[in-house]
Amino acid sequence: MKSAGQVDKKVLIELRKGDYLSFKKIYHAYAQRLYSFIFKVVKDVDLADDVLQLTFVRIWNNREQIDEEKLFDAYIFQIASNLCIDTLRQIAQQERKKQHLYQQMNELALSVEEQFLIKEKAVLIDQLLDSLPPQRRLIFTRCKLEGYSYQEVADELGISTSTVSNQLVMGVKTLREEFNKHKDAIILTLLIPNIYIFF
């Protein structure tokens, strides 16, 4: 195999003209050294093969720009070096995109799960509250879920605060009983916040 020093100006001139035989001479003169250089940079056999091929594709496509008066070694190794950098940069970018995609997928999965749990919680609370008489349900909702004071609820309904308190106590008792009846079916929902309001 010829060394780089054996590729003379005549070969480069013919290459500029599109002579494929001259291109093959250059390939055989540089391929082994280029591959060793590229592999040291990318540290991967397949990537090194790809970059080597890209280097010679670049040489062929830009053959008319070759200046036979300048050092061809520096020219071809600079092309290989730039392609190594571009390749590693693309891989790093793809990896970042992949990690970002994984993160988005995990966040989406968590969001879907949270939405499901919220809906399950709402359904459970509604089912339990349906077991209360209308006024008792309203009192429970105002005091336990909406944060109203006994006095505010009493003023709204035109009843005494003691009535509000008694209705709330009876409401909690009823809800406990209903909850215990269906405890096995809804045990997992105990992990959802706000169930503590029944106790």
Domain boundaries, the chain: 4-97, 130-198
pLDDT at 191: 44
Instruction: Say if residues 1 and 30 touch (Cβ distance below 8 Å).
Output: no
Q: What are the helix and strand counts (H, E) for the chain?
A: 8, 0
Residue 112: which pLDDT band, with cuts at 50, 70 and 90? low
- Which stretch of DSSP H or E encloses residue 31? helix 20-42
pLDDT at 192: 44
Backbone dihedral region for residue 53 (phi beyond 0: left; psi -120 to 50: alpha; all else: beta): alpha
pLDDT at 144: 81
**This model's pTM is above 0.85:** no
CA angle 95, 98, 100 (to 5 degrees): 110
Instruction: Say if residues 76 and 55 touch (Cβ distance below 8 Å).
Output: yes
pLDDT at 119: 67
Residues 6+ away with beta carbon under 8 Å from 96: none
pLDDT at 196: 45
Instruction: Say if residues 63 and 23 touch (Cβ distance below 8 Å).
Output: yes
Residue 174: which pLDDT band, with cuts at 50, 70 and 90? confident
| CA–CA dist 22, 198 (Å, integer) | 88
pLDDT at 114: 64
Residue 21: which pLDDT band, with cuts at 50, 70 and 90? very high
Query: Amino acid identity of 26?
Result: I
Residue 133: which pLDDT band, with cuts at 50, 70 and 90? confident
| CA–CA dist 188, 199 (Å, integer) | 17
> What is the percent of the chain where pLDDT is above 70?
77
Most distant CA pair in the chain, distance: 109
Average pLDDT on 16-21 reads 92
Judged against a pLDDT cut of 90, whether residue 93 lies above it is answered with no
- Fold that domain 130-198 belongs to in CATH: Arc Repressor Mutant, subunit A (1.10.10)
Average pLDDT on 52-69 reads 92
- Fold that domain 4-97 belongs to in CATH: Rna Polymerase Sigma Factor; Chain: A (1.10.1740)
Evaluate whether 4-97 and 130-198 have a shared fold.
no
Measured CA distances, 5 to 9, 94, 132, 135 (Å): 10, 39, 96, 99
| CA–CA dist 199, 26 (Å, integer) | 85
